[in-house]
Structure 1
């Protein structure tokens, strides 16, 4: 999975707004379709609600977004101005950059990725309203033509699926983990006529050694990487729904050793079916290391394979995500969390993984026990309570 460096632009002000935008119904020509109700999921920085909204322009003229307010019970939880929206908007199939993303052409659409973060002790809202402001075409345009209150988005009452550790030991960087801007979060794939985000909550675990290095010696050799060949564990009791084998490892930093398709993108992989109907996808496993069979019942903590570098991967790591189907990408991502882990610190960026200097700014104290959470992006975590220090 690719690496992406990012900044988050969120303004939280919790201010009161008027209960109604206007007496007249809005005629803003945007059709708004929201994703499934978001499941509240805890991270170190608060409770995350990840979801998407597609804005389709049914007008013969372009529409330009100015701001969006996320509203709950008459209060603004978050205000996203134009610069913030630029970082949140995706335009699949269109080559747009910067402020051009705010302009939705006639007959076109924009996909807005939200990560509404609530305080850890805050009450979870039952639903959210999104007040959309568009740029007026001329002065004195009535509010009904520039402001749209979207239909309520229900917030799920479900809890994330709780999982045990997928790995042992310390020094695991949660790359491309819980955030609103990483590659996993933004990978929309159309399979069998449906656009879905299987990797909405995916994580790439890359290991650092006791000195904070991802590799020692020649980085083009898999054996030089700290996590290569590490045991991969079953995160829950379940049944092996599917597996894919026979994909050779790549050389770190080089192109994949096989053509990338829906079958090979995850390299050697195992899909574990959980009793509740969700599926855990383990990707990029070491060739020949998978020790389970399709249909086999396995138990939490059981070794199922080893960390490798197969498929769409540029260095040894474990890719893991949970979805509502067994396909690597043709399913919808499902919220999950780990029962227990320690946060040892946070790498400033994924450039640490490519540096011979390694992670040399670790905190003196790393005791930060987390329960029933998902690691945030670039957190360095331990699954056994032991620190890399």
Structure 2
């Protein structure tokens, strides 16, 4: 088949060709009609994105775009542009290298690639930090440039339009007391939570999209003092966990032992993943999960009414946990896994430092007992109604 015939076939599949092929074909191809045409790549957003104000002062959108190659040969994703409303300039552009860091064939974390095989799908884990002063868009749309092996052409596909849900996120009080708390694996680009997409009960769920693993630093910047295999040596172990809103406890567990720190447990059943936990219904279709609590420390049971600031348990190391911490997230249903993760904000907190060296540095500190590499925030940044971003070190307000 000649290059021109392949390109004509691509036009018939609904592609917008990338120049110079598109210029070559103008004289040979009839004017495009408004008729419905097939396309070689289809896409949809799994869950409507919801904005949240981060501790950097910017609005953030975190969501997932599923792309499916409906041709029989390889597709190479080269560029993804994200547009808001009727904007002519994109809010964000991902080149091939960035796509390869964010796009997972089959939705499998750790399987990132910018390629899709024939009849294969993948999930792009996307994050848009809106420019300062830019209003949250009402809609998003996507434009993908890709190489299609079946047609031997580069083409642009427009897909995945979605409305942005602009309802206000739940406002929470502090889940812990005092200062020195670091937001592990938080919003918006750390992978352990934001890419914890699970195929459950016949569909995808991502309850942990905005989850944070709260840990605590000592005065020397370390998470632990002494033997790292002893849970009681971690600064956060046994800290009281507080109700973040008035609400009703809808589920809990209190019978699992602490894990030995240092590694995630092998062969843990999914029913034990959250360890000892509590789920708090705070109204408006939002539920708060507190996970990995200390054995025997959970003070509440299903049906209990709690007030903001009530102690509901203590920080432990139960379930799927490698060192003591409080896992907290907000979701749209009472199941810790079979739900969609919602953004949320805290009423007041102060950012005192940030580990700008990133997740690798934090993981090394957890594994080796070394200090976290901190960049002080001078002066400390007092925030209201915002979400602490990844590896921020904060002091809680009231």
TM-score bucket (shorter structure): 0.7 to 0.9
Q: Which moved more, 1:28-37 or 1:272-281?
A: 28-37
Corresponding residue number in structure 2 for 1:87 = 101
8 Å contact from structure 1 (residues 227, 316) kept in 2: yes
Corresponding residue number in structure 1 for 2:284 = 276
Distance 1:194 1:343 in 2: 38
Corresponding residue number in structure 2 for 1:313 = 321
Matches within 5 A, 1:3-82: 23=32, 27-45=38-56, 46-72=58-84, 73=86, 74-82=88-96
Corresponding residue number in structure 2 for 1:10 = none
TM-score under structure 2 length normalisation: 0.84
8 Å contact from structure 2 (residues 297, 313) kept in 1: yes
Pairing 1:379–2:392 present = yes
Per-residue displacement from partner, 1:20-79 (whole Å, max 9, x unpaired)? x99467754112121222111111332110111111111122222111111222221111
Corresponding residue number in structure 2 for 1:288 = 296
Distance 2:248 2:120 in 1: 43
- Structure with the greater alpha carbon radius of gyration: 2
- 1:107: Cα distance to partner? 1.7
Cα 1:60–1:139 change in 2 (3 A) is closer
- 1:122: Cα distance to partner? 1.4
Gaps of at least 5 residues in structure 2 are 1-21, 23-30
Q: How many residues align?
A: 359
Q: Secondary structure at the match of 1:56?
A: strand
Corresponding residue number in structure 2 for 1:134 = 146
Q: Secondary structure at the match of 2:341?
A: coil
Q: Secondary structure at the match of 1:365?
A: strand
Distance 1:192 1:139 in 2: 37
Distance 2:302 2:310 in 1: 15
Corresponding residue number in structure 1 for 2:305 = 297
Corresponding residue number in structure 2 for 1:150 = 159
Corresponding residue number in structure 2 for 1:370 = 383
Cα 1:138–1:32 change in 2 (3 A) is closer
Matches within 5 A, 1:125-274: 125-137=137-149, 141=153, 146-256=155-265, 259-274=267-282
8 Å contact from structure 1 (residues 343, 366) kept in 2: no
Cα 1:61–1:42 change in 2 (3 A) is same
Cα 1:263–1:82 change in 2 (3 A) is same
Corresponding residue number in structure 2 for 1:9 = none
8 Å contact from structure 1 (residues 69, 76) kept in 2: yes
8 Å contact from structure 2 (residues 65, 160) kept in 1: no
Distance 2:60 2:252 in 1: 31
8 Å contact from structure 2 (residues 52, 345) kept in 1: yes
Cα 1:153–1:121 change in 2 (3 A) is same
Pairing 1:111–2:123 present = yes
TM-score under structure 1 length normalisation: 0.86
Cα 1:94–1:201 change in 2 (3 A) is closer
8 Å contact from structure 1 (residues 49, 116) kept in 2: yes
Cα 1:105–1:159 change in 2 (3 A) is same
Distance 1:146 1:92 in 2: 23
Q: Secondary structure at the match of 2:66?
A: strand
Corresponding residue number in structure 2 for 1:358 = 371
Cα 1:365–1:355 change in 2 (3 A) is farther
Q: Which has the higher contact order (CA 8 A, sep 6+)?
A: 1
- Alignment RMSD, CA only? 2.3
